[in-house]
Structure 1
């Protein structure tokens, strides 16, 4: 019998013997191995599809003949041995996976650079090994979060809490070494191998992050540490020992995999585990609670055998429903009764606990109240929610408590209707200002939503869903109206930016011609100070695709040509026929610019001299005459127009009311006012692509520091809190200009529009006078905060 296993199959029997791992773990590792091998093989195949073109481009760009030949050789070898490389890589990866499972420490000791054995290593292999080490380091940095999460989960499956980075059978080192060894199929020198390794680094590394993401998702779906907290990742990054998590323990909600529909008991139990974890942590934090509960162990709070918790006592539910309707007669606080109004001014749940414990509530019910009380502690302490909005949301304490008692999945299921309503309420309150008062439409709407929950909720959660949908529809309409109001403010900035772009285009056309230097100085001054304004007028009114724009450029070129030496009779005849219409156009430009009569006369006199010189210089036997020089005093002394029109946009490093940007510049001429009026007639977002072409700002800004990048990457709808002394103002990013260097902020209704430059916003973020308001889900933040606080208390 032939016992030789196929090359592409890796047996885990040795690992099973060494670790005594269960069949479920073996199956999971097999699944991860096969998934990774399949995804990596596809990525390698894509790389080899692209490598021919990539290496050919490098060869063409190479200045050195020998370097060019090495690139071409590498290209030929990669194509010739493609099939062998692909099959060998898969075989090496699977074999390496097996070796690391059997003896994970052996992989990291494969080459000890500090030992004397280094001298025995082949020089070429040493260079390739160094290259692999560098590539693996870069991969680790690129895939940092996904890789650390995968390390954590694999170490749990391998029962090795101190698993080194290089020992992860799915890690970058394992992948890179498998490819390095596959490159042996190239049968070439080390330079060719290093080039192919470099291509692997450039063309495959981005795909590997996706491979790790898929592996993590698969393991989460298989319930291998479904949630990994930032604290766990920090431990991993710092090299601290990783505490071994309890099976399927829920730590926080960011990556929670939700279950829907009819579920088996095991799946139902999984959804309860976050609640169980909260209860266990709460117990550890309160040493007196164990005594109060008669020495009950933590197992007293675990789900029942069928995956659920004991049903809520009807008398407890009746008491809570009575309180929800405003009847607090059964509740006493130091001899004084509570009423529903107090639920809006502070946390009443710990007082409520005393009432329900006397109505047959279980220990689990008591701890549920404690957990919901902690949730509302967080809400009342959250500085992102205005106080009056907290008062409204706080009135939901009793309904939310009922929800948590009826359904423990409230804490772990992101799609729970009650939880989604709380998140939506908090998001809606984000931009609300206390100054708007209780008569504001949003305040009245939320007040109406709260009343609906208090009056209608019994045991069916549908009322939360319908309330949320109603609120979201209201918010969508509010957003639509806000966008309409903000559009007029955005148009003001757009017009100024568009004028700036038009001015830049004209200046480029003029300066490109002046830069040749082959013209009299008087012509250069005329073009920059007079003809440029005519071009600007044509650009604004007719656009760059118009005949008028083309004719204006042609007239500028004709003027420049007219003052060049005329060496043939044909050129001189053309000049004679060209002059009359050209002179009329030049006169029109001077008229538009309101040029004084004296300056006009001087210019045309100088132009006559230029033309005479051009004719004389071109006559046979005549030596070329130097270009005419202007007299000591320039003919045109006033600066180009529209300087003041665009400068407020460029200089807005502080928040500037948009009305100021929209005001005409002081002392504006009729010409300027006419151009501004023409710009105002444009539709918002006309020629956005043309404007964006003149915007290298974002690329250069992001290379500066994190605050520049933070400002450049802000998306519409983001909320910023601007702080000044003891006051603070929240504003929403309503619009970003096409050039990405001007940001429009408004309030929730799209009013009080303020504008600031990208540079100015980055400076405020850097100084702390502007802070990005976090928009993550309220309950996520609250539960995460509860977990952190309880874990800290338990550790203490």
Structure 2
């Protein structure tokens, strides 16, 4: 767009480097390349600073005064304080949009007369074209578009002083519009007019959009900083909204968070148990049970009851007893002690497995394998575990949480192990996608990793093709929860989500972001009539 403007408008500044659409905003090619996707940290994804653009003369005082007057006029108009939300009724929103469109068209001519250069007049025209596209996007509720209309003057103020607004898709003003638009793109008629919880949920989101716009209007002289600030606030609001206010998602988000916490703890427990037993002579069958079954039992118990709860301590003590029981027994007294302690130990193991959701058949299988390992320990020729070493192991088990790393962001072991089978977590309120799609390319995985909370998609799964919203991303972005308008959750691992994206089973509601779409439409109009830039 900048290059087109530079061809037609004398003196229009052009940035030396341009930022592509935000990662995840464009669909990568199935061949493994990327079209519009630049993974975080990739060489081509560096953000140019304002210094990368040629020096730009500040906007003329006369134009800035005219913009201020136009903005104040829009704020003073009747109904401006409510914007067509629940305060005034949704029937009035289309009429308000029509009125705002007429006002903005009139303001455009006044602003062009106040402009002091062809570049300023062209900027006014392009911003008007972009907002015309946004305000006629029927997939966004009219009551929300009323508030988007109020952003036209603040955005124009930024665009005339920061020409990289047109080149950089990650300019905070554009990102704010894109994020808010993506979150309301899937609102359907039932959500907009329905009573009770559904209506309350959408009202909460509209109230936040209203607040964001009013904050932007309140700080007209801060440039991109106010957009960056409210964008951060909006992202934080979304996390709170889907977790606590959105009736369709909050139960599913709670379940998904428990799954992630349980899975992460189980993996970390496994890693620490491996370290603890690396030099301890224990039968392989017992090792496998501790690593693959009991670590999960410890995680479930810690999540549900707390790491220091009595029941959690009982499960840790059972692990220590099992380790001792499965070590070599050279004396008759030790063997008799194992036989005496075995029944209550096996009962505790079964209780723990039941608590973790292990089926009775699986429990029987695990107990059989443990009995075989214990029988082998009776005849083993290896050295027994000294009492001092056993006490040390018990102390380590009791303080296992203290041994877990506080910051696991860089721990690739946890990332790799989180992709294990999650199907055991399926429940009435949440489906777990365990199969489907095709092996994803790295570009598809990068795209899946960058999908943002709030976006709407069409999901083809289990014979249903339905609208879903991305309501939650795990802390490590290895898990993602989508929810239907009726509140059913669908949990994906990162790779499975990438596989569905690649196979076309999960399709974004938007092929491109609002501002990219608006830019494309503006370019089409300029191709048809470039002279309108300077009229």
Q: State TM-score, norm by structure 1.
A: 0.35
Find the structure with the greater CA-based Rg: 1
Q: State TM-score, norm by structure 2.
A: 0.48
**Could you say which structure has the greater relative contact order, defined with CA pairs below 8 angstroms and 6 or more residues apart?**
2
